[in-house]
């Protein structure tokens, strides 16, 4: 372009447009939306059943540009779900980043994540309430000593109230606010440790609401193993999909015999029931983050 060409307004505009397009092409990768861009503002969910708590939603990358509806995963211990540092444990799972990667690779269906924070009564709210034998029950001679082995007072056990909060209060709010697939086939849970225990319990208590759960390092050994015995006798129906796993390091090393009995009671359910062991994996957010793509693929795989 000559100096004379640049002096003409039309030529100058065309030249500037080409320059802008070239610059945009250079910086576009840096401006591309990442997994964190789907994080919605935190909000406080009040409840008539349990204490108020923080909730944060993540929307999949194509949510803003599509009109489709999405399955939903409700995740316990929500402080640990997204990015570091977790205000509760210091380490997060970065679940949204793992899910965004799986979506980009075409391995799973896009989904909405709902991270539900725990409270000071975490152990009480994640305790499978119906599984706890009455004090002094003849059916369980160990029940008198049971709560000497549990780090929670009997009066604080609120697993049923926590599930009522999820089912009657939080889920309807999420369904109103976002384009969700609302049936049990597309309403799932994920949790670790006690969060795994309450996830499995939810499938038993609310089979018409929740259809699948991923339970990592499930706290079957808590107390005297009462939860595992109860679950053996109250298995979810054959249409439910369950993923269980555990490591062999630290606290996870005590889970294997309990999980083995649960698996045997379930029998052969094909791909609807998956149970995996990870040699050397410890009972920690770091270990769960390292393998979270596996339960995500189980829940959402194509």
Residue-wise DSSP of 241-252:
EEEEEEESSGGG
Residue with tokens 């107390």: 223
pLDDT tens digits, one per residue of 62-82: 999 999 999 999 999 999 999
User: Is pLDDT of 6 > 60?
Assistant: no
Beta-sheet strand order (sheet of 43-45): 43-45, 53-58, 112-116, 72-75, 187-192, 212-216, 241-247, 273-278
The 10s digit of each residue's pLDDT in 77-132 is 999 999 877 666 678 999 999 999 999 999 999 999 999 999 999 999 999 999 99
Whether omega before 155 lies within 30 degrees of 0, making that bond cis, reads: no
Judged by average pLDDT, the poorest of 12-16, 145-149, 176-180 is 12-16
Round to whole Å and give the CA distance between 60 and 117: 20
Topology given in CATH for the domain delimited by 35-300: Rossmann fold (3.40.50)
Model confidence over 222-248: pLDDT tens digits?
988 899 999 999 999 999 999 999 999
Sorting pLDDT into bands at 50, 70 and 90, what band is 34? Answer: low
- What average pLDDT does the structure give for the chain? 89
159-199, pLDDT tens digit by residue?
999 999 999 999 999 999 999 999 999 999 999 999 999 99
Domain boundaries along the sequence of the chain? 1-32, 35-300
Overall average pLDDT of the 130-146 stretch: 74
pLDDT-derived band at 221, boundaries 50, 70, 90: very high
Hey, is 103 helix, strand or coil? helix
Instruction: Tell me what pLDDT residue 8 has.
Output: 59
Tally the C-alpha atoms within 13 A of residue 12's C-alpha that lie toward its C-beta.
Answer: 6
Say which residue the tokens 């991923």 belong to: 214
Quote the Cα angle for 231-194-196, to 5°: 65
Torsion of CA 121, 125, 127, 133, to 10 degrees: 90
DSSP string, 155-208: GG--HHHHHHIIIIIIHHHHHHHS-B--SGGGEEEEEETHHHHHHHHHHHH-TT
* The predicted structure's pLDDT at residue 300: 99
**Band (10; pLDDT cuts 50, 70, 90):** low
For residues 96 and 39, the answer to whether their CB atoms sit within 8 Å is: yes
Q: Are 282 and 216 in contact (CB under 8 A)?
A: no
Selection from 4-18, 27-41, 282-296 with the highest mean pLDDT? 282-296
Q: What whole-number distance in Å separates Cα of residue 252 and Cα of residue 219?
A: 9
Per-residue confidence (pLDDT) for residue 28, from 0 to 100:
37
Q: Percentage of the chain surpassing pLDDT 90? A: 75
pLDDT at 14: 58
Measured CA to CA, the distance from residue 272 to residue 185 in angstroms comes to: 12
């Amino acid at each position: 372009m000559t100096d004379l060409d640049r002096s003409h307004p039309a030529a100058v505009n065309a030249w500037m447009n080409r320059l802008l397009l070239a610059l945009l092409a250079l910086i576009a990768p840096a401006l591309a939306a990442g997994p964190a861009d789907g994080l919605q503002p935190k909000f406080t969910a009040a409840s008539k059943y349990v204490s108020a708590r923080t909730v944060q939603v993540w929307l999949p990358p194509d949510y803003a540009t599509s009109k489709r509806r999405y399955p939903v995963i409700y995740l316990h211990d929500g402080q640990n779900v997204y990015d570091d540092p977790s205000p509760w444990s210091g380490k997060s799972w970065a679940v949204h980043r793992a899910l965004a990667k799986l979506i980009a690779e075409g391995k799973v269906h896009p989904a909405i994540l709902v991270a539900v924070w725990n409270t000071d009564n975490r152990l009480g709210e994640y305790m499978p309430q119906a599984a706890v034998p009455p004090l002094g029950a003849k059916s369980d001679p160990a029940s008198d000593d049971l709560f000497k082995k549990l780090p929670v007072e009997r009066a604080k056990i609120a697993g049923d109230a926590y599930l009522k909060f999820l089912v009657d209060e939080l889920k309807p709010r999420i369904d109103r606010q976002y384009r969700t697939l609302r049936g049990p086939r597309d309403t799932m849970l994920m949790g670790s440790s006690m969060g795994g225990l309450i996830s499995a319990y939810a499938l038993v208590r609310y089979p018409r609401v929740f259809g699948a759960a991923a339970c990592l390092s499930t706290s079957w050994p808590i107390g005297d193993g009462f939860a595992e015995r109860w679950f053996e006798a109250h298995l979810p129906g054959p249409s439910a999909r369950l993923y269980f796993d555990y490591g062999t390091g630290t606290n996870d090393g005590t889970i294997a015999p309990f999980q083995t009995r649960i698996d045997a009671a379930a029998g052969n359910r094909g791909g609807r029931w998956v149970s995996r062991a990870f040699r050397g994996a410890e009972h920690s957010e770091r270990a769960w983050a390292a393998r979270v793509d596996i339960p995500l693929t189980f829940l959402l795989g194509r």
